[in-house]
């Protein structure tokens, strides 16, 4: 079921940084987010709706300064959309359940899939593995 809220509801729920990233498609500074160098085992969930998006099993150090993953937690977790802002052709990654902007996916990740899901820490919450 899709999560829909007004902009005022999102502003009230999220921190200013989370709102800027998740609802206005902003980007946090490289090497500044709380999860870029995070190594605990568990699940990375959407900061807006709580959906599981990525797991620690697919997280790796891409040296780009943002949390990077080789794949989402499930095919349904994220949606990929064409993004032509900034004069670049990129693929935006959004939460399927609430349309939160998460980051972008690039074709320069490790094999076998060769994908790097470059995700803003501000769009994530972490739940430690039980």
Give the domain CATH number at 66: 2.170.150.20
Which positions ≥6 away from 44 have C-beta within 8 Å? 35, 52, 53, 54, 55, 56, 59, 67, 69, 73, 119, 124, 125, 126
Q: Is residue 44 part of a domain?
A: yes
Q: Is residue 1 part of a domain?
A: no
Question: Is 49 one of the catalytic residues?
Answer: no
Domain that holds residue 116: 7-128
Q: Is residue 52 part of a domain?
A: yes
Q: Is 59 helix (H, G, I), strand (E, B) or coil?
A: strand
Nearest CA among 44, 50, 52, 43 for reference residue 119: 44
Structure tokens at 44: 């990375």
Give the sign of the dihedral formed by CA 56, CA 26, CA 103, CA 53. positive
pLDDT in tens, the chain (130 residues): 899 999 999 999 999 999 999 999 999 999 999 999 999 999 999 999 999 999 999 999 999 999 999 999 999 999 999 988 877 889 999 999 999 999 999 999 999 899 999 999 999 999 998 8
Tell me how many domains the chain contains. 1
pTM of the model: 0.94
pLDDT attached to residue 129: 87
pLDDT attached to residue 84: 86
Cβ pair 91, 81 in contact under 8 A? yes
């Amino acid at each position: 079921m899709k999560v829909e809220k007004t902009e005022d509801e999102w502003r009230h729920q999220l921190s200013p940084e989370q709102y800027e990233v998740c609802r206005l498609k902003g980007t946090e500074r490289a090497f500044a987010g709380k999860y870029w160098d995070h190594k605990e085992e568990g699940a990375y969930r959407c900061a807006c709706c709580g959906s599981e998006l990525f797991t620690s099993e697919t997280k790796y150090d891409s040296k780009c300064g943002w949390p990077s993953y080789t794949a989402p937690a499930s095919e349904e977790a994220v949606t990929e959309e064409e993004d032509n802002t900034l004069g670049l052709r990129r693929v935006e990654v959004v939460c399927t359940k609430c349309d939160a902007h998460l980051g972008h996916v690039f074709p320069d990740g490790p094999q076998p899939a060769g994908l790097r899901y470059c995700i803003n820490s501000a769009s994530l919450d972490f739940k430690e593995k039980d």
